[in-house]
Structure 1
Amino acid sequence: MFTHIVLFKVKEPTKENLQFLKETLLSMNGNINELKELEVGVDVIKSDRSYDIGIITRFDSKEDYLAYDVNEYHVEKVKKVIGPYLEGSKTLDF
Structure 2
Amino acid sequence: MITHIVMFKLKDNSPEKVAQTVQVLRNMEGKIDELISIEVGTDILHSERSYDIALVTKFESMEALSAYQVHPEHQKVIEHMSQVREASVSVDYES
| Alignment RMSD (CA, Å) | 0.7
Q: What residue identity is the alignment partner of 1:93?
A: D
Counterpart residue number, 2:34: 34
Counterpart residue number, 1:55: 55
Counterpart residue number, 1:21: 21
Deviations 1:34-67 (A, max 9, x none): 0000000010101111101010000001110011
Aligned-residue offset at 1:70: 0.8
The whole-number CA distance in structure 2 between the counterparts of 1:20 and 1:39 is: 15
**4+ residue segments displaced more than 3 Å:** none
Unaligned runs of 5+ in 1: none
Aligned-residue offset at 1:82: 2.5
Deviations 1:61-92 (A, max 9, x none): 111001100111110x2111222110010000
Counterpart residue number, 1:12: 12
The DSSP-based 3-state class of the residue aligned with 1:64 is: helix
The DSSP-based 3-state class of the residue aligned with 2:35 is: coil
Kindly tell me the number of residue pairs found equivalent between the two proteins. Answer: 93
TM-score by length of 1: 0.96
Unaligned runs of 5+ in 2: none
TM-score by length of 2: 0.95
